[in-house]
A and B are shown apart, each in its own frame.
Chain A
């Protein structure tokens, strides 16, 4: 009888107990800072309040007026959007190519590719960025040395970061390199779902390889493709480590993306509230972007 009672009561209590710590941790670790950051963006916090512990005065929308009225802020927004678009496009394209390759090669080559991808995946972004920085070092970098071996090329002492276009090319390379394994392996899994007989019959009907991909493969892998693209966009929009490390912790203004800009305003210039406002705008922009993708994703779901 007592066992019966316990059985009835247990489902009502245990799940909450189990999820409790997670919820608590999320609220403490994510919720509290998030609320604090939103509040901070509407205040005017200076070091005087930081050191004395006094409550910072409310500033309403002043911080937002300040950043939205600043041309440099919009330059950084545009730069971040373009950077994200380039990174996402390259990652997804390269990922798709790698996945197609893995789909077609013999099992042991596939195993080698998968092994390499996993190794890349296991490399922390910090380590990868440092290694790329050494590779592209102006004085002792292996890249300059190797390229200089080509006839007619002299890149000795060439600093890749003097010209921000070249610098960003290197940074994009690091970001895409780091994100490729996830994209490739996920898309490879999606490609495995495409029925082989569908592709075969399309080929028999005279479809060219690109037509097969466009009309047979793509519709099947579209949901996964959308998911990968969305996740990549979220990650690349918030890129910080790679730039910070490759610029030696002192990024030039030409290298500011929204994350870096927010950090510099907060912790170099000590305008904590302005930094929070930039971070908030970043989140809002990201949400707006995600909503478009999510809607499209839901719509794709409905059609199927």
Chain B
């Protein structure tokens, strides 16, 4: 009995030690697995082209038997915060998908290892919107993956009921179609938008800035300078505001995040978006209406300048973190994932390829044809400035647009404020 009393503290201690050991091994473990390649892809791959990931892994397994590929899918909204956290440590993924507006900041801060473009299929025909996002001082730090270009999407049934012949080809035709939609459906439906253009949808607004010859920011030697209050940019923003006033009904402080769901409610004639959003608007999973299944068609969106409205070429690239221990294997996986075969699978999934050669293979009459045509015209990119991600993440553009859309500030004043805020961070690493 005395023995039991004497040893009780000891038993307690060892129990605590066990508990602590249990905690620590649970949270920190699994750092080093030999022969494993970790790949971070955005959820798009999981949702839209899972077969491509599978076939790439199969081909990779043949070339490198014994190397296990672990594909982890990331949400766009949280991916970079997670990436920052892991890049600060040692245990990093070997391949990371990066949006082409996100890469510059990581490249200038030395997060990615350079790659040899010659190693990858059709690297001489890579789309500039993607390839330029990967280059810095003559070296390449990531590999183009796919691109998207926004187009006009319209309700064919509403068009014929309003007596509009077909997809508008010029800006005046477009405005005439809006007017007809508005006068046909507006009086009976107070929620009807001939053109859905929520105020915080900055990819749409900036397309009008570009169309008018304006810029978000211009490069001056080594520095970037915001240029939203230049006369041309202001002209573009003014035209954008005019369209909201004339054809958009709804909350002007919204962005395009739930656009397919809203369009699916049936009170929208035309909207500006990615091709897949037409499908999403008829898909109940994204809030759409299945009854609208065959009622959408796409068209290249004409701009006020007389040319096509320059679309934002949002796309993705694949990079190898500088801290990866398997850079060579990582590059091999990327090579397979982005080669001609893989790009064909992307085209089949209604996505645009990473190179100009295969852009021509997108069926012109298909739903993605207008998008391919828009992408081929050039489109535009966010500035490849070190601090661009800071500009995006501090919501400078949506806030400026909301103030303009709601009439809280004139175009000129809001743009000047935004310029000042952009200048504060755009050159920071």
Contacts and interface: CB of A to CB of B under 8 A. Distances in A.
Interface of A: 2-3, 6, 10, 13-14, 17, 20-21, 46-48, 50-53, 138-139, 157, 159, 161-162, 249-250, 252-253, 264, 267-271
B20 interface: yes
Interface in B12-29: 12-13, 16, 20
Given A6-B6, A14-B9, A139-B251, A47 B84 contact: yes
26 contacts: A6-B6, A10-B9, A14-B9, A14-B12, A17-B9, A17-B12, A17-B13, A20-B16, A21-B20, A47-B84, A47-B105, A47-B106, A47-B109, A48-B429, A51-B110, A138-B253, A159-B251, A159-B252, A159-B253, A250-B398, A252-B399, A269-B390, A269-B393, A269-B394, A269-B425, A270-B389
Interface string B16-50: 10001000000000000000000000000000000
Nearest to A158: B251
Interface string B193-234: 000000000000000000000000000000000000000000
Contacts of A253: 399
Contacts of A139: 250-251
Contacts of A161: 253
Given A48-B429, A267-B81, A162 B253 contact: yes
Contacts of A10: 9
B250 A157 contact: yes
Given A14-B9, A252-B399, A269-B394, A21 B16 contact: yes
Contacts of A267: 81, 393
Interface of B: 2, 5-6, 9, 12-13, 16, 20, 77, 81, 84, 87-88, 105-106, 109-111, 250-254, 322-323, 387, 389-390, 393-395, 398-399, 402, 406, 408, 425, 428-429
Contacts of A14: 9, 12
B395 A250 contact: yes
**What 8 pairs between A and B have smallest CB-CB spacing?**
A268-B393, A138-B251, A47-B109, A269-B390, A48-B109, A51-B111, A268-B394, A250-B395
Given A3-B2, A162-B406, A267-B81, A47 B111 contact: yes
Contacts of A17: 9, 12-13, 16
B251 to A, nearest CB: 4
Nearest to A254: B399
Nearest to A157: B251
B415 to A, nearest CB: 16
A2 B1 CA distance: 11
Contacts of B252: 159
A3 B394 contact: no
B406 A52 contact: no
Given A139-B251, A268-B393, A50 B16 contact: no
Given A2-B6, A252-B395, 13 more contacts: A6-B5, A10-B9, A17-B13, A17-B16, A21-B20, A51-B87, A51-B111, A52-B110, A138-B253, A139-B251, A249-B77, A267-B393, A270-B390
A157 B253 CA distance: 11
A268 to B, nearest CB: 4
Contacts of A264: 393-394
Contacts of A2: 2, 6
A115 B20 CA distance: 39
B304 to A, nearest CB: 28
Nearest to B85: A50
A269 B88 contact: no
Contacts of A52: 110
Given A268-B390, A269-B393, A269-B425, A50 B84 contact: yes
Nearest to A271: B428
Nearest to A270: B390
Given A2-B6, A14-B9, A17-B12, A270 B398 contact: no
A252 B13 CA distance: 52
Nearest to B249: A157
A81 B20 CA distance: 42
A20 B322 CA distance: 41
A30 to B, nearest CB: 17
A10 B106 CA distance: 57
Contacts of B12: 14, 17
Contacts of B250: 139, 157
Given A10-B9, A21-B16, A268-B393, A51 B2 contact: no
